[in-house]
Protein backbone atom coordinates (compact mmCIF):
# COMPACT_ATOMS: atom_id res chain seq x y z
CA UNK A 1 0.00 0.00 0.00
CA UNK A 2 1.37 3.40 -1.01
CA UNK A 3 2.14 5.70 1.90
CA UNK A 4 1.17 8.76 -0.15
CA UNK A 5 -1.65 8.79 -2.69
CA UNK A 6 -2.23 11.21 -5.55
CA UNK A 7 -5.19 11.79 -7.82
CA UNK A 8 -6.08 14.57 -10.20
CA UNK A 9 -9.33 15.50 -11.95
CA UNK A 10 -11.25 18.62 -12.99
CA UNK A 11 -8.25 20.84 -12.40
CA UNK A 12 -7.74 19.69 -8.79
CA UNK A 13 -5.06 17.37 -7.41
CA UNK A 14 -5.43 15.59 -4.07
CA UNK A 15 -2.39 14.39 -2.11
CA UNK A 16 -3.23 12.04 0.76
CA UNK A 17 -0.83 11.04 3.51
CA UNK A 18 -1.72 7.37 3.80
CA UNK A 19 -0.21 5.97 7.01
CA UNK A 20 -3.31 5.93 9.22
CA UNK A 21 -1.81 3.26 11.50
CA UNK A 22 0.94 5.77 12.36
CA UNK A 23 -1.32 8.87 12.42
CA UNK A 24 0.23 9.78 9.05
CA UNK A 25 3.59 10.52 10.67
CA UNK A 26 6.23 11.55 8.16
CA UNK A 27 9.16 9.34 7.13
CA UNK A 28 11.83 10.00 4.54
CA UNK A 29 9.79 8.03 2.01
CA UNK A 30 6.72 10.17 2.71
CA UNK A 31 8.71 13.37 2.23
CA UNK A 32 10.11 12.10 -1.06
CA UNK A 33 6.68 11.03 -2.34
CA UNK A 34 5.04 14.35 -1.43
CA UNK A 35 7.87 16.26 -3.14
CA UNK A 36 7.42 14.15 -6.28
CA UNK A 37 3.67 14.77 -6.34
CA UNK A 38 4.12 18.52 -5.81
CA UNK A 39 6.49 18.54 -8.78
CA UNK A 40 3.85 16.70 -10.78
CA UNK A 41 1.26 19.26 -9.72
CA UNK A 42 3.37 22.15 -10.97
CA UNK A 43 4.28 20.27 -14.16
CA UNK A 44 0.78 19.25 -15.23
CA UNK A 45 -1.13 21.81 -17.29
CA UNK A 46 -4.47 20.19 -16.41
CA UNK A 47 -4.10 20.77 -12.65
CA UNK A 48 -4.42 24.28 -11.21
CA UNK A 49 -4.74 23.73 -7.45
CA UNK A 50 -4.22 20.88 -4.98
CA UNK A 51 -5.47 19.62 -1.62
CA UNK A 52 -3.23 18.03 1.01
CA UNK A 53 -4.99 15.75 3.50
CA UNK A 54 -4.47 12.70 5.72
CA UNK A 55 -6.17 9.30 5.77
CA UNK A 56 -7.98 7.74 8.71
CA UNK A 57 -9.29 10.83 10.49
CA UNK A 58 -5.92 12.41 11.31
CA UNK A 59 -4.08 14.98 9.25
CA UNK A 60 -0.53 14.34 10.48
CA UNK A 61 1.11 13.73 13.86
CA UNK A 62 4.47 15.10 12.73
CA UNK A 63 7.75 13.23 12.34
CA UNK A 64 7.75 9.45 12.66
CA UNK A 65 9.75 8.88 15.85
CA UNK A 66 10.63 5.32 14.90
CA UNK A 67 12.17 6.63 11.70
CA UNK A 68 14.05 9.23 13.74
CA UNK A 69 15.41 6.54 16.04
CA UNK A 70 16.54 4.56 12.98
CA UNK A 71 18.59 7.57 12.01
CA UNK A 72 16.41 8.69 9.10
CA UNK A 73 16.62 12.33 8.06
CA UNK A 74 13.02 12.94 7.06
CA UNK A 75 13.52 16.47 5.73
CA UNK A 76 14.75 16.85 2.16
CA UNK A 77 17.52 19.28 1.18
CA UNK A 78 15.94 22.33 -0.40
CA UNK A 79 12.42 20.97 0.17
CA UNK A 80 12.16 20.65 3.94
CA UNK A 81 9.91 18.53 6.14
CA UNK A 82 7.36 16.50 4.23
CA UNK A 83 8.94 17.65 0.96
CA UNK A 84 6.95 20.86 1.36
CA UNK A 85 7.87 23.26 4.15
CA UNK A 86 10.87 24.92 2.49
CA UNK A 87 9.56 24.91 -1.07
CA UNK A 88 5.79 24.98 -1.50
CA UNK A 89 4.38 24.52 -5.01
CA UNK A 90 3.83 27.46 -7.33
CA UNK A 91 0.15 26.52 -7.59
CA UNK A 92 -2.25 27.01 -4.64
CA UNK A 93 -2.30 24.27 -2.00
CA UNK A 94 -5.18 23.75 0.45
CA UNK A 95 -4.87 21.76 3.68
CA UNK A 96 -7.91 19.61 4.52
CA UNK A 97 -7.58 18.84 8.22
CA UNK A 98 -9.41 16.19 10.22
CA UNK A 99 -8.28 15.36 13.74
CA UNK A 100 -4.77 16.31 14.82
CA UNK A 101 -2.21 18.43 12.97
CA UNK A 102 0.70 18.39 15.40
CA UNK A 103 4.32 19.52 15.33
CA UNK A 104 5.61 18.92 11.81
CA UNK A 105 2.06 18.08 10.78
CA UNK A 106 0.96 21.58 11.76
CA UNK A 107 3.99 22.99 9.95
CA UNK A 108 2.74 21.25 6.79
CA UNK A 109 -0.57 23.05 7.29
CA UNK A 110 1.24 26.37 7.72
CA UNK A 111 3.07 25.79 4.41
CA UNK A 112 -0.28 25.55 2.61
CA UNK A 113 -2.08 28.61 1.24
CA UNK A 114 -5.57 27.92 2.59
CA UNK A 115 -6.98 25.67 5.32
CA UNK A 116 -10.28 23.83 5.64
CA UNK A 117 -10.76 22.04 8.97
CA UNK A 118 -13.39 19.85 10.57
CA UNK A 119 -15.00 21.05 13.77
CA UNK A 120 -12.97 18.69 15.96
CA UNK A 121 -9.60 19.39 14.28
CA UNK A 122 -6.77 20.46 16.56
CA UNK A 123 -3.55 22.28 15.74
CA UNK A 124 -0.42 22.41 17.86
CA UNK A 125 3.32 22.92 18.18
CA UNK A 126 4.09 20.87 21.32
CA UNK A 127 7.87 20.76 20.83
CA UNK A 128 8.71 22.78 23.97
CA UNK A 129 7.06 20.07 26.05
CA UNK A 130 9.88 17.78 24.89
CA UNK A 131 12.64 20.37 25.23
CA UNK A 132 12.66 21.07 21.49
CA UNK A 133 11.64 23.90 19.16
CA UNK A 134 9.71 23.73 15.88
CA UNK A 135 12.14 23.94 12.97
CA UNK A 136 10.08 23.24 9.86
CA UNK A 137 8.65 26.74 9.57
CA UNK A 138 6.33 26.95 12.57
CA UNK A 139 8.31 29.71 14.27
CA UNK A 140 8.63 31.57 10.98
CA UNK A 141 5.18 31.30 9.44
CA UNK A 142 2.81 31.27 12.43
CA UNK A 143 3.59 34.87 13.57
CA UNK A 144 2.93 36.04 9.99
CA UNK A 145 -0.49 34.40 9.91
CA UNK A 146 -1.92 35.23 13.35
CA UNK A 147 -1.32 37.97 15.93
CA UNK A 148 2.12 37.69 17.54
CA UNK A 149 0.72 37.10 21.03
CA UNK A 150 -1.46 34.25 19.75
CA UNK A 151 1.50 32.67 17.96
CA UNK A 152 3.72 32.96 21.03
CA UNK A 153 1.07 31.41 23.26
CA UNK A 154 0.92 28.37 21.00
CA UNK A 155 4.71 28.11 20.73
CA UNK A 156 5.60 28.75 24.39
CA UNK A 157 2.87 26.65 26.01
CA UNK A 158 2.80 23.86 23.46
CA UNK A 159 -0.97 23.66 23.96
CA UNK A 160 -3.22 22.89 20.98
CA UNK A 161 -5.71 25.22 19.33
CA UNK A 162 -9.24 24.23 18.31
CA UNK A 163 -10.58 24.66 14.78
CA UNK A 164 -13.06 27.28 16.02
CA UNK A 165 -10.30 29.34 17.62
CA UNK A 166 -8.07 28.87 14.55
CA UNK A 167 -10.85 30.24 12.36
CA UNK A 168 -11.40 33.13 14.78
CA UNK A 169 -7.76 34.25 14.53
CA UNK A 170 -7.63 33.81 10.74
CA UNK A 171 -5.61 30.61 10.55
CA UNK A 172 -8.46 28.52 9.11
CA UNK A 173 -10.59 29.63 6.15
CA UNK A 174 -13.55 27.29 6.58
CA UNK A 175 -14.78 24.93 9.29
CA UNK A 176 -16.89 21.91 8.32
CA UNK A 177 -18.70 19.17 10.16
CA UNK A 178 -16.49 16.28 11.22
CA UNK A 179 -15.66 14.13 8.22
CA UNK A 180 -16.31 17.00 5.81
CA UNK A 181 -12.92 18.72 5.57
CA UNK A 182 -11.86 17.04 2.33
CA UNK A 183 -15.15 17.77 0.60
CA UNK A 184 -15.02 21.36 1.84
CA UNK A 185 -11.48 21.68 0.52
CA UNK A 186 -12.51 20.16 -2.82
CA UNK A 187 -15.28 22.76 -3.12
CA UNK A 188 -12.86 25.58 -2.34
CA UNK A 189 -10.35 24.12 -4.79
CA UNK A 190 -13.01 23.89 -7.51
CA UNK A 191 -13.80 27.58 -7.14
CA UNK A 192 -10.09 28.34 -7.65
CA UNK A 193 -9.66 25.88 -10.53
CA UNK A 194 -12.48 27.58 -12.44
CA UNK A 195 -10.38 30.75 -12.73
CA UNK A 196 -7.57 31.57 -15.13
CA UNK A 197 -4.66 29.30 -14.12
CA UNK A 198 -1.94 31.77 -15.13
CA UNK A 199 -3.69 34.52 -13.18
CA UNK A 200 -4.12 32.30 -10.10
CA UNK A 201 -0.49 31.17 -10.03
CA UNK A 202 0.76 34.72 -10.62
CA UNK A 203 -1.49 36.15 -7.91
CA UNK A 204 0.05 33.70 -5.45
CA UNK A 205 3.54 34.53 -6.68
CA UNK A 206 3.01 38.29 -6.28
CA UNK A 207 1.47 37.91 -2.84
CA UNK A 208 4.41 35.85 -1.59
CA UNK A 209 7.11 37.90 -3.32
CA UNK A 210 5.89 41.25 -1.97
CA UNK A 211 5.38 40.23 1.66
CA UNK A 212 7.29 42.57 3.98
CA UNK A 213 8.27 44.93 1.15
CA UNK A 214 7.65 48.65 0.99
CA UNK A 215 4.82 49.69 -1.33
CA UNK A 216 7.36 51.04 -3.82
CA UNK A 217 9.30 47.78 -3.81
CA UNK A 218 6.11 45.75 -4.05
CA UNK A 219 4.86 47.62 -7.13
CA UNK A 220 8.26 47.13 -8.80
CA UNK A 221 8.05 43.38 -8.17
CA UNK A 222 4.41 43.19 -9.26
CA UNK A 223 4.73 45.16 -12.50
CA UNK A 224 6.44 42.62 -14.80
CA UNK A 225 4.46 39.71 -13.37
CA UNK A 226 1.11 41.47 -13.79
CA UNK A 227 2.10 42.70 -17.26
CA UNK A 228 2.68 39.08 -18.30
CA UNK A 229 -0.85 38.18 -17.22
CA UNK A 230 -2.48 41.17 -18.93
CA UNK A 231 -0.70 40.31 -22.18
CA UNK A 232 -1.71 36.65 -22.08
CA UNK A 233 -4.14 34.71 -24.25
CA UNK A 234 -6.11 33.92 -21.09
CA UNK A 235 -6.66 37.62 -20.41
CA UNK A 236 -8.16 38.07 -23.86
CA UNK A 237 -10.21 34.89 -23.44
CA UNK A 238 -11.57 36.08 -20.09
CA UNK A 239 -12.72 39.38 -21.57
CA UNK A 240 -14.22 37.67 -24.64
CA UNK A 241 -16.08 35.10 -22.52
CA UNK A 242 -17.53 37.86 -20.36
CA UNK A 243 -18.68 39.84 -23.41
CA UNK A 244 -20.16 36.71 -25.02
CA UNK A 245 -21.80 35.52 -21.79
CA UNK A 246 -20.11 32.11 -21.82
CA UNK A 247 -17.66 30.16 -19.70
CA UNK A 248 -14.01 30.84 -20.55
CA UNK A 249 -11.75 28.19 -22.02
CA UNK A 250 -8.33 28.72 -20.45
CA UNK A 251 -5.06 27.78 -22.17
CA UNK A 252 -2.69 28.81 -19.33
CA UNK A 253 -0.70 31.22 -21.49
Q: Which residues does the annotation mark as catalytic?
A: 107, 127
Strand 4-9 relative to strand 12-17, pairing: antiparallel
Strand 122-124 relative to strand 161-162, pairing: antiparallel
- Are 83 and 115 in contact, with CB atoms under 8 Å apart? no
* Buried b / exposed e along 139-175 (16+ C-beta atoms within 10 A): bebbbeebeeebbeebbeebebbbbebbbeeebbbbb
Helical axes 215-230 vs 233-243, angle rounded to 10°: 70
DSSP string, 49-79: EEEEEESTT-SB-SB-HHHHHTT---SBTTT
Phi, psi of 50, deg, nearest 5: -140, 160
Amino acid sequence: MSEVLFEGADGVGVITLNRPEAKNAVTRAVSEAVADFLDELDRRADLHVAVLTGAGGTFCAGMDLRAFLRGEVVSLPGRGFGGLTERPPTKPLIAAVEGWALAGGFELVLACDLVVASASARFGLPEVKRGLVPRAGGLLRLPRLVPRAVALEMVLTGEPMSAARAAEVGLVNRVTADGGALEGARQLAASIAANGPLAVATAKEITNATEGRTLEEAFAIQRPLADRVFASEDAREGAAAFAEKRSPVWVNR
